[in-house]
Homo-oligomer: A and B are copies of this chain.
Amino acid sequence: MTNILPVLDRASADIPASLERLFELVRIKSISTDPAFKADCRRAAEWLVKELRSLGFDATVRDTPGHPMVVAHHEGAKADAPHVLFYGHYDVQPVDPLNLWDHDPFDPAVREVEGGRRIITGRGTSDDKGQLLTFVEACRAYKETVGALPCRVTILFEGEEESGSPSLKPFLEANAAELTADFALVCDTSMWDADTPAISAGLRGLVGEEIVVKAADRDLHSGYFGGAAANPIHILADVLAGLHDETGRVTLPGFYDGVEETPTQIKAAWEKLGSSAESFLGEIGLSIPSGEKGRSVLELTWARPTAEVNGITGGYTGEGFKTVIAAEASAKVSFRLVGKQDPAKIRDAFRAYVRAKIPADCSVSFHAHGGSPAIQLPYDSALLGKAKDALSDEWPKPAVVIGMGGSIPIVGDFQKMLGMESLLVGFALSDDRIHSPNEKYDLRSFEKGIRSWVRILAALAAR
C-alpha cells in the first residue's frame, strides 16, 4: 500500500488553492429547476471538465435533453485495484427567499463564526459542489504527490439532481459500458456529527407529484359566488388534510405495502447515537415529532415513509386582501419511500385518492416530478468495512453506519441499470442549511473530506 502521508500533507497544504477553485464553481449560478439558469448549468459543467483535464482526466461535457453531464476517465496505478465510479452533482437549489440570506448566495467566502469555527458560505457549498470537489482535490493531491491515482477512476457529474434527474436514466442506458465500474462512490450525504463520519447504508426513495385543482373558469368575487361556487383551495385543503390520519400514518390505500419494520438490533444501535427528539428537532426550533406516533426521530427520518406537501399556492397571495374565489389552486407533494415500496404504485394510489375527492364539476391535473425506490446496502459488505476503517483513521470518532432520509435516485439507477452498489460517504453537517437560505459547508468538512478520500482510495486499492 502506498505511503499516503505525503498525499495527506499535500492535500492540507493545498487548501487555499482548493478553496479558490471551490469559490469559482460556487459563483456559477447552476440552478437546474429554473430555465433562466440553463446557460449557467452548462458553464458549471465546462468548468469541471477544464479542471479534470488539468489533472490528466479524459473529460468531456456530454449533452442531454436537459442539462449536460460531465464524464471523465483516469487510469489507476495498480492493475488489480478496483475501478470506481465517483458521482456528484453540480446543480444547486433555487435561492429564494433571497432576503433571508445574510450574504450573496453566489459570492462565497470563508467566514469565522462562534468558537473559531470556519465556514464556507454560499449556495451549493454543501450540496453538492463542496462535496464533489473533496474527491477531485483528493485526486489532485495524488497526482501532484505520486503522479498517479491508486485505482482506476471514472467520474460522473450530473446537472439535474435537484430537478428529478430526467436525463439520467437514458444517459446511463446509452453509456452503460463506459460508466460501469466495480462500484460507485457517491458524495452527497452528511456526517453523523462534526466529529463522527457516517456511511449511509439506507436511502429513502422519492415520488414527486404536482397537482392542480380547477373549479370555475375564472377567478370569482367571493361575495357574489361565495357559498355556492366550488372553491379549489377548499378542495385542495381537504385532499391534503386527508393524507394523514390522527396517528400520523399516510392514508393512501396500499401505501405501506413493502414497508418492513426495522430490525431490533438496528434500532438499538440508533438509540445509542443518542439523538433525542429534543436535540434533533431543537436545532431547527421545534420539539415535538410530527410524524407517526411512537417512533424515534431517527426511525421516522431514516426508516419510515412520509407524505409531505412541499409547496401550495392559490388565490390572492399579495399584500392586503382580495375577496376572491380562485379558479385554481395547486400543490407540490412528495413521498419518501422505504423498503420495497413501489414508486409507480404510490403515484397511482395518490392520483386515485385525489381524483375521488374532486367534485364532478371540477377537475384536477397531475404532473410527475421524479420517482425512485428506496435503497439498502447490506450491513456486512466488504466495501463498507474498508471505507469505515479509512474514515475512522481520519476523524476524531469512529465512523457509524446509518440510514438516510433523503433520496439519491442515482443510487437506485446504478444498482438497477449498471449492477453497481454504491458507497455513500459525505461530509455535510446537519446545520449546513442545504436547500435553505444561508447554506454553508464547514472548512473542516472540506479539508478532512479531501483527506478522507485520499485514505478511502488507498484502502480500496489495497485489496
- CB within 8 Å of B: which residues of A? 32-35, 93-94, 96, 100, 162-164, 190, 204, 206, 208, 210, 215-231, 233-234, 236-238, 240-244, 277, 280-281, 284-292, 297, 300-301, 304-306, 308-326, 329-332, 334, 336, 359-362, 369-370, 404-407, 430, 433-438
* Cα–Cα distance between A155 and B93 once the two chains are bound (Å): 56
Whole-angstrom distance between the Cβ of A105 and the nearest chain B Cβ: 13
- Looking across the interface, which residue of chain B has its beta carbon closest to that of A302? B227
Whole-angstrom distance between the Cβ of A320 and the nearest chain B Cβ: 3
Whole-angstrom distance between the Cβ of A81 and the nearest chain B Cβ: 33
Contacts of A219 in B (CB 8 A): 435-437
* Cα–Cα distance between A280 and B93 once the two chains are bound (Å): 46
Contacts of A32 in B (CB 8 A): 320
* Cα–Cα distance between A160 and B370 once the two chains are bound (Å): 46
Q: Are A210 and B321 in contact (CB under 8 A)?
A: yes
Contacts of A204 in B (CB 8 A): 223
Contacts of A243 in B (CB 8 A): 234
Q: Are B226 and A284 in contact (CB under 8 A)?
A: no
Minimum-distance CB pairs A-B, first 8: A223-B406, A33-B320, A217-B285, A311-B315, A241-B241, A237-B240, A321-B369, A227-B291
- Looking across the interface, which residue of chain B has its beta carbon closest to that of A315? B311
Q: Quick one: given A310-B325, A311-B317, A317-B312, are A285 and B216 in contact (CB under 8 Å)?
A: yes
* Cα–Cα distance between A285 and B164 once the two chains are bound (Å): 35
Q: 14 A-B residue contacts at CB 8 Å?
A: A34-B320, A225-B405, A228-B281, A228-B300, A229-B284, A230-B286, A233-B309, A237-B240, A281-B361, A288-B359, A310-B315, A315-B332, A322-B435, A323-B334
Whole-angstrom distance between the Cβ of A355 and the nearest chain B Cβ: 16
Q: Are B34 and A301 in contact (CB under 8 A)?
A: no
Q: Are A94 and B322 in contact (CB under 8 A)?
A: yes
Q: Quick one: given A228-B297, A234-B244, A241-B242, are A315 and B320 in contact (CB under 8 Å)?
A: no
* Cα–Cα distance between A257 and B367 once the two chains are bound (Å): 44
Q: Quick one: given A241-B238, A406-B221, are A34 and B226 in contact (CB under 8 Å)?
A: no
* Cα–Cα distance between A316 and B96 once the two chains are bound (Å): 9
Q: Are A226 and B405 in contact (CB under 8 A)?
A: yes
Q: Are A312 and B310 in contact (CB under 8 A)?
A: no
Q: Are B406 and A306 in contact (CB under 8 A)?
A: no
Q: Are A308 and B222 in contact (CB under 8 A)?
A: yes
Q: Quick one: given A222-B336, A336-B223, are A311 and B290 in contact (CB under 8 Å)?
A: no
Q: Are A218 and B301 in contact (CB under 8 A)?
A: no
* Cα–Cα distance between A110 and B233 once the two chains are bound (Å): 35
Whole-angstrom distance between the Cβ of A439 and the nearest chain B Cβ: 10
Copies in the complex: 2
A290 contact from B221, B229, B305, B407, Cβ within 8 A: B229
- Looking across the interface, which residue of chain B has its beta carbon closest to that of A367? B321
Q: Quick one: given A241-B242, A301-B226, A334-B222, are A310 and B290 in contact (CB under 8 Å)?
A: no
Given A33-B321, A222-B336, A233-B331, 7 more A-B residue pairs with CB atoms under 8 Å apart are: A33-B322, A206-B323, A230-B290, A234-B243, A234-B244, A316-B332, A324-B435
Q: Are B321 and A226 in contact (CB under 8 A)?
A: no
Whole-angstrom distance between the Cβ of A351 and the nearest chain B Cβ: 16
* Cα–Cα distance between A320 and B93 once the two chains are bound (Å): 11
A310 contact from B190, B322, B436, B437, Cβ within 8 A: B322
A35 contact from B164, B206, B319, Cβ within 8 A: B319
Q: Are B229 and A321 in contact (CB under 8 A)?
A: no
Q: Quick one: given A227-B301, A227-B306, A315-B309, are A288 and B323 in contact (CB under 8 Å)?
A: no
Contacts of A361 in B (CB 8 A): 281, 285-288
- Looking across the interface, which residue of chain B has its beta carbon closest to that of A220? B284
* Cα–Cα distance between A102 and B223 once the two chains are bound (Å): 24
- Looking across the interface, which residue of chain B has its beta carbon closest to that of A243? B234
Contacts of A236 in B (CB 8 A): 237, 312
A319 contact from B33, B237, B287, B297, Cβ within 8 A: B33
* Cα–Cα distance between A407 and B244 once the two chains are bound (Å): 37
Q: Quick one: given A218-B284, A284-B216, are A231 and B322 in contact (CB under 8 Å)?
A: no
Whole-angstrom distance between the Cβ of A176 and the nearest chain B Cβ: 27
Whole-angstrom distance between the Cβ of A304 and the nearest chain B Cβ: 5
Whole-angstrom distance between the Cβ of A335 and the nearest chain B Cβ: 9
Contacts of A324 in B (CB 8 A): 310-311, 435-436
Whole-angstrom distance between the Cβ of A293 and the nearest chain B Cβ: 12
